[in-house]
Amino acid sequence: MPSAPRLEKITPDNVTDACRLRVRPEQAGFVESVAESLAEAYASPDIAWPRLVCDGEEAVGFVMAFFDVPFDFDGPGAAPRSGLWRLAVSADHQGAGYGRFAVAAVCDEVRRRGGSTVTVTYKPGDHGPEGFYARLGFRALGMTDDGEVLAELDLPERDLSWSDLSGVDRTEAERTEADRTGSGPTEVGPAAPAA
């Protein structure tokens, strides 16, 4: 498990570390690169919230949230959504709880901004993040127009710790099997909020 993970803003001092993060090769089709994510954050500064996941001095993952974005899925006049836009845990650090930590941090930020539900979209398929999000309690609502699954999680009224997202802990045997086969929670996230 992570010793003391934390989120850091992306700065000139850590942007190179962020851009060097790589997921497993079989997961690459499920999440955009950190560099592309940061370019989108730069182009959408009013809604994007990019953060580096660090443990000690080491960058172990990247998460980007979005806030108050309308989804075509919900129809005209629906309330905007907030949630996970991107999530990538480096290949060498998967299965240690960093993805769960990042999701809990985004949940807390959504709640701090007045939200009560967190949204994620993801591409379905082998080695994708569907099982990871399901174990965190996200429930699939359907498919977006661009073929991604839209899922949401209702938030409790208090801040979460990464250990609060129950059902994610895996035994050492499960971790070993997931590492060997590339199955299990991949801890990679959505491509982009449907606009």
Cα distances (Å, whole numbers) of residue 106 to 22, 59, 65, 145, 194: 21, 17, 7, 25, 18
| Amino acid symbol at 46 | D
DSSP string, 165-184: STT----HHHHHHHHHHS-S
Q: What pLDDT does residue 70 have?
A: 84
Q: Is the pLDDT of residue 156 over 70?
A: yes
Bigger pLDDT: 3 or 102?
102
The two structure tokens encoding residue 102: 């990042």
* Residue 178 pLDDT class (50, 70, 90 cuts): very low
SS3 121: strand
How far, in Å, are 29, 126, 168 from residue 26 at the CA level? 7, 9, 21
pTM for the structure as a whole: 0.79
Q: Which residues pair with 153 in a beta bridge?
A: 118
> Is the predicted pLDDT of residue 130 greater than 50, yes or no?
yes
Confidence of residue 111 (pLDDT cuts 50, 70, 90): very high
pLDDT at 183 over 70: no
Q: How far is CA 8 from the centre of its chain?
A: 15
Backbone φ and ψ of 54, nearest 5°: -125, 150
169 bridge partner residues: none
Bridge partners, residue 6, by sequence: 54
Per DSSP, the three-state class of 63 is strand
